[in-house]
Amino acid sequence: MNTANIIDGEASVTAVAHAAMARTPDPRLRRLVAAFVDHMHALIREVDLTEAEFETVLKFVTDIGQQTNDVHNEVVLAADVLGISTLVALRNNPQNQGQSAAALLGPFWRAASPLCANGESIARCDMPGTTMEVSGQVRGVDGAPLAGAKVDVWQASPVGLYENQDEQQPSMNLRGYFITGPDGRYSFRTVRPAGYPVPTHGAVGVLLRLQERHCMRPAHVHFMVSHPGCKTLITQVFADDCEHLGSDVSFGVTKPLVGQFVHHAPGGKDKADGGSGYYTLNYDFVLEQGASCFPEAPIK
């Protein structure tokens, strides 16, 4: 009789579990799961996890899975508000060659947004709000402009909703991608996004309320910048004048990602500014060499 897996007291569980998994052929999977088991078992011992608390944890995990579907991703949201997504993004994207700062992807990126010509607007309907002109240059770490780079952008509306959350907006509103010209430059028009509350209808909302945390993100524009032979940059640029810049619920703000949202008074060069003037944002991106890979989209 093989008795190797027979548990002899709680102290033996960790070693027995490790032994059971030791033959995992993929060395990376073996290491990851072993470390997960170690840390989870240590956490259970450290906090003396009760059975009721364990049930609550399992219910949270079940809920975030069940609340995830084609148009909403509660699992990504949970990773974001726990600081996990930012930690992974920052650890995997050091700025050791002068490359641009990365940030978490978030739950709202959709693949297959429409191709737009430089200078075109990503506002696909008549929208209230203040016009914003965004432009910049994509370069390699050697300083050379990258022609033909793809600059995929997405943002919330002036009322703080992504198009997939809002029946008033057409599909793919405030989303689009641009291809840089020979000088590496991109440009587009939009409306200034508002800061917004992350979705709180699910398990993540319950957690935030229990923690007495606010649910706000500061106003930002998302960018995914890619070029063949370069590591894809996923990032966000935040409004420098935004209320929640210092308390983002998903910990996305780092100093290099605070953009200058410059306000221009009404009546200037843009006569169609609706009396509220307009904003400009200039932001350059520097890509390092590497594999041009894309993440799985959190929503369809």
As measured in angstroms, the least distance from the Cβ of 35 to Fe ion is: 31
Binding residues (CB under 6 A) for ligand BEZ: these are 77, 80, 104, 106-108, 198, 217, 250
Nearer to ligand BEZ, 174 or 287 (CB): 174
Sign, Cα dihedral of 77, 78, 81, 87:
negative
Three-state DSSP class for residue 149:
coil
- The single residue listed with the structure tokens 């050091």 is 94
As a whole number of angstroms, the distance between CA 265 and CA 281 comes to 15
As a whole number of angstroms, the distance between CA 239 and CA 279 comes to 11
As measured in angstroms, the least distance from the Cβ of 106 to ligand BEZ is: 3
Residue 22's Cβ-count burial label (10 Å; 0-12, 13-18, 19+) is: exposed
Q: Of these partners, ligand BEZ, Fe ion, none, which one is at the site of residue 250 (CB under 5 to 8 Å by kind)?
A: ligand BEZ
Cβ-contact 239, 259 below 8 angstroms: yes
Cβ-contact 130, 279 below 8 angstroms: yes
Torsion of CA 71, 77, 79, 81, to 10 degrees: 170
As measured in angstroms, the least distance from the Cβ of 154 to ligand BEZ is: 8
Nearer to ligand BEZ, 226 or 236 (CB): 236
Nearer to ligand BEZ, 76 or 149 (CB): 76
Nearer to ligand BEZ, 108 or 279 (CB): 108
Q: Which stretch binds Fe ion (CB under 5 A): 27-35, 52-60, 103-111, 167-175?
A: 103-111
As a whole number of angstroms, the distance between CA 118 and CA 137 comes to 12
Nearer to ligand BEZ, 84 or 127 (CB): 84
Q: Of these partners, Fe ion, ligand BEZ, none, which one is at the site of residue 77 (CB under 5 to 8 Å by kind)?
A: ligand BEZ
What does the block give as tokens for 79? 């990773």
As measured in angstroms, the least distance from the Cβ of 130 to ligand BEZ is: 20
Under rule CB under 5 A, how many of the chain's residues touch Fe ion? Answer: 1
Q: In this chain, which residue has its C-beta nearest to ligand BEZ?
A: 106
- Residue 95: alpha-carbon gap to chain centroid: 18
As measured in angstroms, the least distance from the Cβ of 296 to Fe ion is: 17
As measured in angstroms, the least distance from the Cβ of 116 to ligand BEZ is: 20
Where along the sequence are the contacts to Fe ion (CB under 5 A)? Answer: 106
